[in-house]
Amino acid sequence: MSDEIDQLHQEAAASLANASDAQALEAWRIEYLGTKGRLKGMMSRMRDLSKEERPVFGQRMNALKETLEASFDSRQSGAAASHDGPPIDVTEPGLPARSGKRHVLTRTIDEIVEVFGRMGFSVAEGPEVEDEWHNFNALNIPDDHPARDPIDNFFLAGDRMLRSQTSTVQIRVMEQSPPPLKIISVGRVYRPDTHDATHYSMFHQVEGLCLDRGVTMIDLKTVLFQFAKAYFGPEAEVRMRPSFFPFTEPSAEVDMKMKIRGQWQWVELGGCGMVDPNVLEAVDIDPEEWTGYAFGLGIERIAMRRYGISDIRNLYENDERFLRQF
């Protein structure tokens, strides 16, 4: 019996060595390892053996099975690696490779930076993890102001928080560089809003700050007007409605007229105003000598209205079918 096992092993090994392609390998597998294969056939002879012989026989057969399976596996992966098998049809047309593209928001941001760049604004950056000084105090937002409500902010340990507005960067820039200044800053801001079609707990703003001698509200309106024309087209306009922000006096809300599905419409984009003297004093700049304007616009708003996107969540779901459209 032992001889027969050896013989089967030798035959199987020789036959496997001769199998030259994927088809032959499969035929070998069926012949030796298949459910009706030769190993199974030999196993069935167990019943002819005595009680003492059976375990020895069983063990040898299992060992043989494992050895053959291992040899088969290594031949098969070798065959796959060397492209053994059906020949490759080199004349078959290939699949077109789709190139990646910028996310629609990144594209909007790049366009905004470009337009303000042409008007002489350089780009400043600030951290997303901020402290209360930069997010509130220096911006003339008093301790008891409702904007500080924990329900409207992502507070972290200590006095750290995720910034709720890019106005923080105005302070950082004024702390570091003396006027005159003309900067924009683009970045993420965070507010614990429940997600729906127009709200998301993270979004982007573009902040502007211009500080010089003799800057007036006319300069502010001119810059916003120029931006609207350059970005939305020659018929675009800017409208300012009186409003209140702690860090500007006077303050206004900014609407821009943009083309939406062929129609010109007013869209509210953010806030603006003349930098409040208290803000300048907080960063040791003399408000008697320097005046400035500031503005903050929502970027998702601009992108959504401009590209006809009705749900802000689409911007963050990374569904390729959506992203490919822009």
Enumerate binding residues for ligand DAH (CB under 6 A): 165, 167, 207, 245, 248, 270-273, 294-296
- Comparison of 231 and 295: residue with beta carbon closer to ligand DAH: 295
Q: How many CA atoms lie within 13 A of 285 on its CB side?
A: 28
**What is the rounded CA–CA span in Å between residue 42 and residue 36?**
10
The percent helix, strand, coil of the chain (3-state, each to 5) is: 45, 20, 35
Q: Which is nearer to ligand DAH, 29 or 134 (CB)?
A: 134
- In angstroms, the first-to-last Cα distance of the chain is 74
- Which residue, 72 or 136, is less far from ligand DAH as judged by CB? 136
Task: Output the DSSP codes for 63-85.
Answer: HHHHHHHHHHHHHHHHHHHTT-S
User: Which H or E run includes 274?
Assistant: strand 263-275
Q: How many residues does the chain have?
A: 326
CB of 90 to ligand DAH, least distance (A): 59
Closest to ligand DAH by CB, 179 or 296 = 296
Residues 6+ apart with CB under 8 A from 100: none
**Shortest distance, position 83 Cβ to ligand DAH, whole Å:** 60
Q: How far is the CB of 314 from ligand DAH (least distance, A)?
A: 22
Q: Is the Cβ of residue 84 or residue 207 nearer to ligand DAH in the bound state?
A: 207
Nearer of residues 181 and 294 to ligand DAH, judged by Cβ: 294
CB of 168 to ligand DAH, least distance (A): 9
Give the span between the Cα atoms of 179 and 212, in whole angstroms.
6
Q: How far is the CB of 294 from ligand DAH (least distance, A)?
A: 3
CB of 150 to ligand DAH, least distance (A): 18
- CA 109 – CA 102 distance, rounded (Å): 11
User: How many Cβ atoms are within 10 Å of 228's Cβ, its own excluded?
Assistant: 23
Residue pair 299/315 in contact by the 8 Å Cβ criterion: no
Residue (272 or 309) nearer to ligand DAH, CB: 272
| Minimum distance, C-beta of residue 130 to ligand DAH, in the bound complex (Å) | 13
Q: For residues 207 and 269, what is the distance between their CA atoms, to the nearest angstrom?
A: 12
Q: Contact 293/273 with Cβ under 8 angstroms?
A: yes
